Structure 1
Amino acid sequence: MKENTRQRLIDATFDEVYSIGYQGAALNDILAKAGVHKGSMYHFFANKKEMALAAICEKIDERFDLRYQSIVNGKGGYLKNLFAVIRESEGRDFKRGCPIANIVQEMSNVDEDFNATMKEIYAHFRMGFKTIFDKAVEAGELKACDTAKLALFTASTLEGALLSAKASGNPQDYFDSVEMLIEYIRGFESEKSLS
């Protein structure tokens, strides 16, 4: 029961922060959405900020693991599987955009704890792509290349694609950007992969 209460708090906090930002998220609204009393919250978290940071870390990690960890754990087809994942629309919220970018833009210059947390999350995001590209190089799918820079370019492009879709209100902006990104990555495919 305790774990269920904590999970409801995490889910409600993340949804509220993702929807209206940390500063706009009222503790009473989070508690009402979670169906939890303030005293129960204090059993798990000292305050709204601690709860928000935990929610952000856990929910974003969960999203990454769902999308990218199975690619890393696979036995090949790394690029094909990556392309399939970034082309998916399921689980993407084109109205709210990217939770990482939203929180970085709102809180990184305001609060050092948020700044440090978001830097760590973004580094993990980039490292996930680097790991996929490293595995693709090892498997002979990609030519030897600077996988750290390719991962940076991939993460930046995907972030920008989500921002474009949010700003324009047109999800096609995301998909068009993804197709250009895939075309760019394919420029690094090995001869073996192309044959």
Structure 2
Amino acid sequence: MKIFYNKEFILNVTKEKLSSYIEMKYGPLLAIEDNFIDGIVKVIKDFDFKCGCKLNNLVQELSYKDEDFKSSLEKIYLRFENIFEQVLNKAIEKKEIIKTNTNELSVFTVASIEGCISTAKKSQNEILYNSCISHLEKYLNSYKILK
């Protein structure tokens, strides 16, 4: 059975809705002035995983089917990662975390968040989500400079 879809509609929804969703959910991290890791953890712990991540769901379904979908979704993903990178850079500047490659750490953080969400979604199990995020939290805390 062949599924038909309106490509322009999906691209517009992707651009408008998913971009604003990422900005609404993770953009407030950019306003944090201290306790950066704690701020990140607070935001990532607050997630309703039952339907998964809107962005990741579309990436899984559409990015391999069409170059325009891939490009559109990748731009949003890069913004998602960039928000974390900016926050981690501020944490380094304020000497809250050790110097590290914040681009790589932000990619790892976003990949971990998405993995935690997908794992919990497949099982519909909040305990799995919380456990997975708690391990990410421990990892991020390992970058903190002890004062």
TM-score, scaled relative to structure 1: 0.69
Q: Which residues of 2 match residues 1-195 of structure 1 at below 5 A?
A: 23=3, 48-89=6-47, 92=48, 94-191=49-146, 195=147
Contact persistence 1:109–1:115 (CA under 8 A)? yes
RMSD of equivalent CA atoms:
1.6
Q: Distance in 1 between matches of 2:32 and 2:63?
A: 35
Aligned residues of 1:53 and 1:114 also touching (Cα < 8 A): yes
Q: How many residues align?
A: 145
Once the two structures are TM-superposed, the CA of residue 73 in structure 1 deviates from its matched residue by: 2.1
For 2:109 and 2:117, how far apart are their aligned partners in 1? 12
2:91 partner letter: A
CA distance in 1, matches of 2:124, 2:28: 30
Shift of 1:182: 0.7
Which ranges in structure 2 are unaligned for 5 or more consecutive residues? none
Task: Say if 2:29 and 2:83, in contact at 8 Å, map to a contact too.
Answer: no
Unaligned runs of 5+ in 1: 1-22, 26-47
Inter-partner Cα distance in structure 2 for 1:147 and 1:125: 13
Range that drifts further, 54-63 or 131-140 = 54-63
d(CA) in 2 for partners of 1:86, 1:188: 17
What letter matches 1:111 in structure 2?
D
Give the AA of the match of 1:130: E
Shift, 1:106, TM fit: 1.2
Q: Percent identity?
A: 29
**Which structure's CA Rg is the greater one?**
1
Please identify, of 164-173 and 178-187, the stretch whose mean Cα deviation from structure 2 is larger: 164-173
| More relative contact order, 1 or 2 (CA 8 Å, 6+ apart) | 2
| TM-score when normalising by structure 2 | 0.89
Instruction: Write the distance in 2 (CA, Å) between the matches of 1:68 and 1:76.
Output: 16
Shift of 1:76: 2.0
CA distance in structure 1 between the aligned counterparts of 2:4 and 2:9, rounded to whole angstroms = 15
Mark the CA change 1:171 to 1:57 in structure 2 (over 3 Å): closer, same or farther: farther
User: Quick one: distance in 1 between partners of 2:75 and 2:19?
Assistant: 11
CA deviations 1:86-114 (Å, max 9, x no partner) are 1113xx3x232112221112111211110
